[in-house]
Amino acid sequence: MQAFEVEQHRSSTTWGWVGALYSGVMTAITPLLDLSVHCRRWQGREHYCRWRERMGYASRERPPGVVIWIHAVSVGEGISAIPVILRCRDARPLNTILMTTSTVGAHSVLEQRLPPEVILQFAPIDTPMAVQRFLLHWTPQAAIFMESELWPTLVLETAQKGIPLALLNARMSLKSFERWSAAPMQPLVAAMLSQFSLIAPLSTKEAIRYQILGAAPSIIHFAGNLKYACAVADAQKESSSGLADIEAALKDRKVWLAASTHAEEEDAIIRIHKELKNWVPRLLTIVAPRQPSRGHAIMTRFRQQGFGVAVRSEGHQISSNIDVYMVDTLGELNHFYAMVPIAFVGGSLVQGLAGHNLAEAAAAGCIVLTGYHIGHFQEMVEEMQKMSPLSVQQVDEEGLVDNLRKFLTAEDSYLDERRAAADGALRAAASGVSTRVWELLESCILKKVLI
């Protein structure tokens, strides 16, 4: 304990007064945060058996040699890191890759998708004690953070130990920019950003925001969006054999998929299904909620409207009297994209939402529809539309009904043109992204790390 306190004091003195204040506050509330982890464990929001990893206690020994640490908070960021992980594994087979994430959902998905040689752990909470335990055990030689992972203790303690840092697929929303720009926070974010050797932002707009907050222009490099590369790689994989019966059941049905939907959109999805049934009697609507745990509640609401509902997690079959199929499972969305001609990507119909990744639907060859409330994914829409105006279409609720009715009653040749446009735009955007990102990592971060 005393060694931790000495290390904490030494590192916090280099952070400036705001960093020292943050470190002091986080130290003071550590007992409350530890208690919060215990409460979340009992609620199922922390891993029941591996919750101690959140306190910085590793669940396995560190292997000898070089450890390259990649951190992503949740599912989307973790999946985006997979192309980098695969390049690292192939280029540096003697190095160990350590992947950390912060959510149970992300851990569950990544456990299935990561190469078996990758070590998967939960990231420590952002307290000095937890972070120092984590770093003292794993002693990584490089740290690669994904998208918007700016946790002061995690970043500054890592830099304090001389570990080079990279931020890939770097995002900075207007809301986050305004929060970090506030007087008490700006010195802290400037201290963090000054520690990175590489920041690869998704757009010029975000690059400017990072520079205003304190990142040096010399460390900012553009490489493209890793979500494109990951989506293309996923689309090339074979679909699960466990879905063959579902695929067969869809052949004689008109079907569309409402993916990554939020609770605020459920009433709209019900209204849309009801309206479309007037035009497409044998319609099947597949709903894949962003939070699978909401599946039962959505099922109940559809059944209250008189619709037949089958539930994926309960092994229900899609019979002729089923109107709605509820995909309340993790890690299967890409398989369903591959089986349907039309996908609406949710989290986008209602103001206050911020959209979800469109690349997976496009790579699977779907006609892609999404709403107008999509946050930083607006840049993805604009980039794909530059490649092909037909690749993605933004709609409100009325427009979604009109477009679905048009597509569900159209000839196959009309649908094929739209589907090819989405797929082609996505592949054009994905071209060379993984190579450019890896070359930047090698030149800016890993050149100092022995193989």
Residues with active-site annotation: 77
Cα distance between residue 113 and residue 387, in whole Å: 30
Place of tokens 């609507």: 285
Cα distance between residue 37 and residue 44, in whole Å: 10
Cα distance between residue 189 and residue 135, in whole Å: 21
Q: Provide the angle, in degrees to the nearest 10, between the axes of the packed helices 204-213 and 174-181.
A: 10
Q: Is 378 exposed, middle or buried (0-12, 13-18, 19+ CB in 10 A)?
A: middle
The secondary structure of residue 96, as a DSSP letter, is E
Tokens of 121: 């752990």
Residues facing 98 on adjacent strands? 69, 119
Tokens of 292: 């699978």
Question: What is each CA distance from 83 to 119, 233, 271, in whole angstroms?
Answer: 16, 8, 39
Question: Under 8 Å CB-to-CB from 214, ≥6 apart: which residues?
Answer: 186, 189, 190, 191, 193, 194
Cα distance between residue 29 and residue 224, in whole Å: 39
Terminal-residue alpha carbon distance, the chain: 34
Sheet holding 142-146, edge to edge: 119-122, 96-101, 67-71, 142-146, 165-170, 196-201
Tokens of 173: 């929303």
Q: Cβ distance 153 to 126 under 8 Å?
A: yes
